[in-house]
Amino acid sequence: MKICKLNRICCLLAVLAGLAGGASAFAADEMKTLDTARELKEMPVLTGEQWQTLQQETKIAFIWGIGHVVTIEEHVMQRHPELQRKGFVAKLAEGLKGIPMKTIVQEVDDYYQSNPDDLDLPVMRVIWAKMVKPKLTSGVADRPIDREIDK
């Protein structure tokens, strides 16, 4: 009985240590962003300037986070059909459907590399303009789509 409990505690500690190690990989990339957020007391918008300083794993984590928001909203709308709408997240899901995360990261990297004067543009604006808009037949709330990138 004591050995079984000790094994569980050791496994739990090993998992926690692994999680702590993985988190530290992101910590260095994110410290500047977190400091900015504390100074501004708001969520900073990720722009091309910061994007270019992030490691590949951190970029994937950002895209993964976007995917989670989309997935959560889709599940909520399935459970509560009265909430269904053609909002930003629904259009984001429509436009990014089937695009691998690594491809999204590469597209954003390529955009900022090809457009160094646009480093002040938010990453989400680039994703919307370069990957989502081209696949949509109508925009948010079924409005017509403006095909030019907003600056």
Q: What mean pLDDT, rounded, does the chain reach?
A: 77
Evaluate whether residue 148 is within a structural domain.
no
Evaluate whether residue 1 is within a structural domain.
no
Q: Tell me the three-class secondary structure of 82-142, residue by residue.
A: HHCCCCHHHHHHHHHCCCCHHHHHHHHHHHHHHCHHHCCCEHHHHHHHHHHHHHCCCCHHH
pLDDT tens digits, 75-116:
888 888 887 777 888 888 888 999 999 999 999 999 999 999
Q: Which domain holds residue 91?
A: 45-142
> What is the pLDDT averaged over residues 40-67?
90
Q: Angle, nearest 10°, between helix axes 88-96 and 56-79?
A: 120
Evaluate whether residue 59 is within a structural domain.
yes
Evaluate whether residue 7 is within a structural domain.
no
pLDDT tens digits, 113-149:
999 999 999 999 999 999 999 988 877 766 777 756 5
